[in-house]
Amino acid sequence: MENRLKNKNTSNPDLWTAISHLHKAIAAGGVDPKLLTLVHLRASQINGCSACVYASVAGGKKAGETDERLHNVAAWREAPFYTDAERAALALTEGATRLQDGADGVTDEIWEEVNAHFTEEEVGAINLEIALTNFFNRLNRTVKEPAGQTWG
């Protein structure tokens, strides 16, 4: 796969400042970075974004995540490696990512389960991570960003 975008606007400071502020806002939410990695990975798997799947795995390993958990996040419902809180965040990720063609989205049940495990600030950070991941997944799929490359 060859990237369609030759100039990624790396010289546009406003773009990178905005993205940096979003990352800071997510980090300020107090959510374990390993959980945010799992959220990023699951959304990226659903969207078929190889660049973000690659980045999630690399980032997860850097944050201390295990291969076992990274490899099984696609089957998190059946895998015994995740806490109830992580399962709630992954269900939220799937509901917020799968909005197409009459999908249920984030049901009241999912929302209640997430709020049983996380503070409002943490839920906000997880939601922002999901939204930002979906944003990058769509950009990367549009420009055919190959796995192993970086934007900035």
- At 6-51, the pLDDT tens digits run 665 566 778 778 889 999 999 999 999 999 999 999 999 999 998 8
Cα 104 to Cα 23: distance, rounded to the nearest angstrom: 28
151 has a pLDDT exceeding 50:
no
- Measured CA to CA, the distance from residue 89 to residue 130 in angstroms comes to 10
| H/E segment holding residue 103 | none
pLDDT higher than threshold 90 for residue 149:
no
